[in-house]
Amino acid sequence: MAIWLLITVVGLVAAGNLNQYLTTSLNVPGSESEKASQILNTNFGENTEGTFTVVYKYTNATKEELAGIVQAVEKASAVIPGSQIGAQKSLVGTLYTNMTTPLSLVEAAAYTTPLRQALVQQGLTGAYVTGPPAIEKDVTPVLARDLQRGQLVAVVIALLLLLLLLGSTWAIFIPLIFATASVSLALGIIYLIAQRLLMVLYVPNIVELIGLGLAIDYSLLMVHRYRRELLSNVDEEVALIRTMQTAGRTVVLSGITVSVALSTLLLVPVPFVRSLGIAGVLVPLVSVIAALTLQPVLLSLLGQRVFSDGYQGIMGKKDPLAGLWAKLSRWVIPRAQSVFAITLIALLMAASLVSKLEITPSSLTAIPANLESGAVLSDIAKKVGPGVITPHEIVIDLGAPNRAATEQVEAARLALATSISTMPEVFMVASGKQAQYVDSTGQFIRMYVIGSNAIGDKKTRELVENVRLHITSVSGFPTGAQIYLGGSPAQGVDLISAILGSLPSIILLLLLIAFLLLARAFRSLILPIKAILMDLVSISISFGSLVAIFKFGFGSTLLGTYQLDQIEAWVLIFMFAVLFGLSMDYEIFLVSRMREAKDAGASNNDAITHGIAHTSGVVSGAAIILVGALSGFVFGHFAGLQELGIGLAVGIIIDATIIRGLLLPSSMVLLGRWNWWLPQGLAGLLKVKASPLERPEARL
């Protein structure tokens, strides 16, 4: 207890200082856009994460007045140490100024308010400040408020459900203590990792809300099993040992399965996605550590007080075989064929919406429009076009210094700019001889290509491919010159390409590992295959729900979601890994209890009823608690997190109710004795051991 108290305090302190090490980078190492970004950073001093964009609207300004506005912006920039005025353009009565700094994202973000104040002092009252540092400054407190609201809702829902399930007993606080300790340890470890590796801004929200729900799930399962063991008229120590041998073993296996599922995200060659994978792996692993150390201590301290003298709760002393879930199971078993067919058809129809799914690297709606940095982006997109916000950047390495000023290069540059400007999706091309287009050595030149559409639009992705194809055939530049396309649209294309390229290997590896783990756990060859197929159905439905809500608007008014044609790519791959892991989690909870009954001599049908009766109530309660935790995402202000929250919530609800309550038992009835089939040779290969109830000490 003392060790865990120390871990919790240190973890909470670390969590309070974590934001300064988080970033929003979507760079794809080794990609063409990353190479362009490195040149822009090294040779043009363009530090993307430390660059502000100042937007100022003027009316009928003369050249002298416009020059005065430019000078005022330059004076205001002096408030930021080492800042320089980069690209500057006047379009449709608006001056756009990029203000580069040598600072990191968090360091630059601290100067957002001073810059806004300096612009007002220079008489530019209507100036708006956006860009990565300003977005970081505006977004961080909103994320924090969303997280706090999500935590509050999750804790209230958890307490109410725990009271409903366990009754008026001190045991309802065990899962909350367990979750607090687990999440604190995870955040403390992430704080240490963030010193060395890139971790994204969303990580604390994901760890705290998903971690809270998952930890409560594990703890509740063990509390429930401990109470059932005490009802067997054994003393507290024996009850605790049996709990650890059964529910404890299940939690360990579940945690390993979830962490293995999320570890596949580390195969994606994108630091953004890998950081989500690291966070996801830590959540179940620290919960397993707590389940093996903290949970038994908490249970031993309470002993018989896990029961209530007053309200007993749904999971009280009543026999589960007389409960609602047992009755549902007994209703399904004689109607297995029709229940299986109708349920599967309905689920597949719901999953069919996944065919309408479209993906995007990111969305401007990821930034709430009520923030200054988000409002100005929305305003620019409406008045000038969304392409202005995220320009393409062509970077040309001429191979040697002082070549940029030669007639050959000048002619080639103009020819390239002219040819690209004729492309249908190009709004304008900006290039020239000035310092913002040519580096100080004269070896590197760049030009801006502004498209007509938003970063995630299909036409923008087509433009990236067309420009890249075009620059491979460009002539006129010196021999050995290298041309790269960078900028946010190209970075987005590279991000999606990296994710989709990794997806087949991730899915295959995930399915293989899940099969081996479940085959060993269930001592069956058929059950793991069935579990994997059902998991894929629930994941497809969750993807389809995103299409229904965000693209077609079903329930969007009630939920307060954005209207989007495309779903962010990182959300889908993270959802896939999380849902696959959680679905395995619920499968393990249920089938492990069925396996126990089967080992004790029950028939196939009786084992099904036994497992569902003793576990489905816990699984459903745990699922509701986890969905409550996800409400912090659903009712938040960020499109990507809304997508994640809704997708996970739908997948979890469908999986914990319809699939586990109807499809699972009906399919197991139809399979009959094949459920438990495992060839003797494979048993040795998988190193399958007898269940805890078959071992000599259990029989004794």
* Residue 477 structural domain: 372-492
Predicted local distance difference test score (pLDDT) of residue 114: 94
Task: With respect to residue 616, please indicate whether it lies within any of the assigned structural domains.
Answer: no
Q: Among candidates 623, 645, 672, which has minimal Cα distance to 165?
A: 623
Q: Confirm whether 579 is domain-assigned.
A: no
pLDDT digits (tens, 9 = 90+) for 522-578: 888 888 888 889 889 999 999 999 999 988 888 777 777 777 788 888 888 888 888
The total of structural domains in the chain comes to 3
Average pLDDT, the chain: 85
3-state secondary structure 406-437: CHHHHHHHHHHHHHHHCCCCEEEEECCCCCCC
CATH number, domain of 433, equals 3.30.70.1440
- The answer as to whether 301 is a domain residue is yes
* Mean pLDDT, residues 650-668: 89
Mean pLDDT of 363-372: 67
Closest CA to 624 of 161, 183, 100, 137: 161
pLDDT at residue 323 is higher than 90:
no
Whether residues 193 and 291 fall in one domain? yes
First to last CA, the chain: 32
Do residue 419 and residue 480 come from a single domain? yes
Residues 128 and 219 both lie in one domain: no
pLDDT tens digits, one per residue of 260-313:
888 888 888 888 889 989 998 999 999 999 999 999 999 999 888 888 777 777
pLDDT > 90: percent of the chain: 24
Which one of 296, 314, 332 terminates a domain? Answer: 314
Q: What is the CATH number of the domain that holds 175?
A: 1.20.1640.10
Residues 130 and 16 in one domain: no
Over residues 483-537, the pLDDT tens digits come to 999 888 898 899 889 888 888 888 888 888 888 888 887 888 888 888 889 889 9
Confidence check: pLDDT of 241 > 50: yes
pLDDT for position 363: 63
Q: Quick check: is 71 in a domain?
A: yes
Q: Tell me how crowded residue 196 is: count the other CB atoms within 10 A of its CB.
A: 8
Q: CA–CA separation, 340 vs 498, rounded Å? A: 38
Label residue 315 by pLDDT band (50, 70, 90): low
Residue 76 shares a structural domain with residue 194: no
- The pLDDT value recorded for residue 181 is 95
Say if 524 falls within a structural domain: no
On the question of pLDDT at 367 being above 70, the answer is no
pLDDT for 700: 40
pLDDT for 679 beyond 80 = no
Q: Do both 310 and 214 map to the same domain? A: yes
DSSP 369: T
* pLDDT score, position 21: 83
Same domain, 262 and 397: no
| pLDDT band at residue 231 using 50, 70 and 90 as cut-offs | confident
Q: Which of 452, 474, 492 is the last residue of a domain?
A: 492
Among the listed residues 101, 100, 105, 102, the one whose alpha carbon sits nearest the alpha carbon of residue 22:
105
Distance between CA atoms of residues 548 and 352, nearest Å: 11
Are 226 and 234 in contact, with CB atoms under 8 Å apart? no
Could you tell me if 217 and 90 lie in one domain?
A: no
Q: Could you tell me if 184 and 124 lie in one domain?
A: no
Give the domain CATH number at 69.
3.30.70.3090
∠ CA 272-273-274, rounded to 5°: 95
The answer, yes or no, to whether residue 696 has pLDDT greater than 50, is: no
* One domain for residues 183 and 251: yes
The torsion region of residue 300 among left (phi > 0), alpha (psi -120 to 50) and beta comes to: alpha
- Do residues 119 and 15 share a domain? no
Residue 194 belongs to a domain: yes
More confident residue, 68 or 59: 68
Instruction: Label residue 463 exposed, middle or buried (CB < 10 Å: 0-12, 13-18, 19+).
Output: buried
Q: Render pLDDT for 11-32 as a digit per residue (tens, 0 to 9).
A: 999 988 888 888 777 788 888 9
Look at residue 461 and tell me if it is in a domain.
Answer: yes
Q: Which of 492, 508, 542 is the last residue of a domain?
A: 492
> pTM (2 decimals)?
0.83
The string of pLDDT tens digits covering residues 47-66 is: 777 888 898 888 878 888 88
Instruction: Provide mean pLDDT across the span 584-602.
Output: 82
User: Which of 286, 281, 243 has the alpha carbon at shortest distance from 265?
Assistant: 281
Same domain, 172 and 275: yes
For residue 399, tell me if it sits in a domain. Answer: yes
